[in-house]
């Protein structure tokens, strides 16, 4: 798991910014399981600062369907 170092300071106890990698054909997880050095497992809520839009026509990320056309992109 990758973390963003400035968020791991004593003033933001209980909060960390992490990188979540997902498969694009899956839903964004609402919770993830994390384990600590002692082997304890915690279920943690995930809050996304940004989620890319999905094309209404083909379901792909990164573009929107063109109006009046049959093709995407």
pLDDT tens digits, one per residue of 12-69: 566 777 787 888 778 888 998 988 888 899 898 888 888 888 888 887 777 776 665 5
- Cross-strand partners of 34: 42
Alpha-carbon distance 25 to 19, whole Å? 18
Residue 60 is part of which domain span?
Answer: 1-73
Per the structure, the count of domains in the chain is 1
**Separation between Cα atoms, residue 73 and residue 69, nearest integer Å:** 10
- Output 49 or 11, whichever has higher pLDDT: 49
Predicted local confidence at residue 20, as pLDDT = 75
What is the reported pTM? 0.51
Return the residue matching tokens 């979540």: 20
Residue 52 φ/ψ, nearest 5 degrees = -65, 150
């Amino acid at each position: 798991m990758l973390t963003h170092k400035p968020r791991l300071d004593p003033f933001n106890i209980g909060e960390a910014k992490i990188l979540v990698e997902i498969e694009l054909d899956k839903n964004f997880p609402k919770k993830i399981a994390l384990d600590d050095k002692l082997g304890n497992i915690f279920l943690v809520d995930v809050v996304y600062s940004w989620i890319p839009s999905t094309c209404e026509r083909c379901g792909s990320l990164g573009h929107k369907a063109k109006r009046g056309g049959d093709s995407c992109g």
